Amino acid sequence: MKPLKKEQIKQEVFDLYDAYAHNKLARREFIEKLSLYAVGGITVASLMSFLMPNYSDTLIVSQNDPKLESGFIKYESPKGGGTIKGLLSKPKNVKGKLGGIVVVHENRGLNPYVEDTARRAALSGFITLAPDALSPLGGYPGNDDEGREMQRKRDRNEMLEDFIAAYEYLKNHKDCSGKIGVVGFCFGGWISNMMAVKVPDLSAAVPFYGSQPEENIDQINAPLMLQFAGLDERVNAGWPDYEKALKENNIEYKAYTYPNVNHGFHNTSTPRYDKEAAELAWSRTIEFFKKHLNA
């Protein structure tokens, strides 16, 4: 059977996957509902294969890119989960100090896509740290399904402390200027919003399709760039109230909504990926960080 193409798949299938990926559907229920769309020669197995992440040939930056120094470090998160593993990346032959970026994963741990994203940001002239909030449970297990189950076992506010500790690690790194931003995706988008609330000296935050904080929004000092997917009704529902609070508190922000794309459109490893929207959103993100971290 030929591989499925994106245009063959109904939007309802992507909505089902979104519900499954965010723990709204158990795997058995997901497969049962998916079977309704296994018609016209399309099987449940082919739909599952199409929807699941593919890390083997979707990464953009090689793990051994000669222009980078990239490797795993460990740091302490006293208020969070103890010892946290993270991917630290920076351009080789650094001259002078660099702006720092904390790169925050989705709700399944530090998978290859997020590692790749951290390397991409480093190639743009930053020192980046991509922590694995699953470290206290043994780390990302090698597949996203198990990663989601593991992450559900952790308290999200403790994980928030893990990423705040990553900010502190970068702030004290010899190659970091002390100007630090955060970018995160899905769960990481929520973390990015919350770090803007919790970290007074944060220099910039870019939440990709992340849930919004509900209180203490007046404490945000960092400029925000918010990236939304046009078809993401779940996350977008909270944006009007958040925007109202940002305006009321005179907080600097830019918000972009990319039409006709799904939650997760930046993730290269799944068919939700939209190349045009992802590249535009990423170029905006890097320019935003250059403005606020390199000044």
Assess whether pLDDT exceeds 90 at residue 4.
Answer: no
Span 86-96, pLDDT tens digits:
999 999 988 89
pLDDT exceeds 90 at position 131: yes
Task: Round the average pLDDT of the chain to a whole number and report it.
Answer: 95
pLDDT of residue 38: 86
SS3 state of residue 103: strand
- What is the distance between the alpha carbons of residues 46 and 82, in angstroms, rounded to a whole number? 41
CA distances in angstroms from 236 to 208, 211, 278, listed in the order given: 11, 8, 18
* Phi/psi at 214 (5° precision): -110, -10
Find the mean pLDDT for residues 268-281: 96
> What are 76-120's pLDDT values in tens digits?
999 988 999 999 999 998 889 999 999 999 999 999 999 999 999
Comparing CA positions, the residue from 122, 205, 211 lying closest to residue 167 is 205
pLDDT digits (tens, 9 = 90+) for 199-215: 999 999 999 999 999 99
Is the pLDDT at 1 greater than 80? The verdict is no
Helix ranges (DSSP H) in the chain: 11-21, 27-34, 44-51, 112-123, 144-151, 156-171, 187-198, 233-236, 239-248, 275-293
pLDDT digits (tens, 9 = 90+) for 42-62: 889 999 889 989 998 899 999
| Whole-angstrom distance, CA of residue 70 vs CA of residue 112 | 13
pLDDT, residue 80, reads 85
Q: How far apart are CA 98 and CA 179, in angstroms?
A: 8
Residue 185 near residue 273, CB atoms below 8 Å:
no
- Domain residue ranges of the chain, discontinuous segments joined by +: 6-51, 68-293
Predicted local distance difference test score (pLDDT) of residue 287: 98
39 or 193, which is more confident: 193
pLDDT at 2: 63
pLDDT greater than 90 at residue 270: yes
The predicted structure's pLDDT at residue 176: 97
Full-model pTM? 0.95
The fold of 68-293 is Rossmann fold (3.40.50)
181-196 burial code (b ≥16 CB/10 A, e <16): bbbbbbbbbbbbbbbb
Residue 126 · residue 287 · CB < 8 Å: no
Copy the structure tokens of residue 18: 């979104």
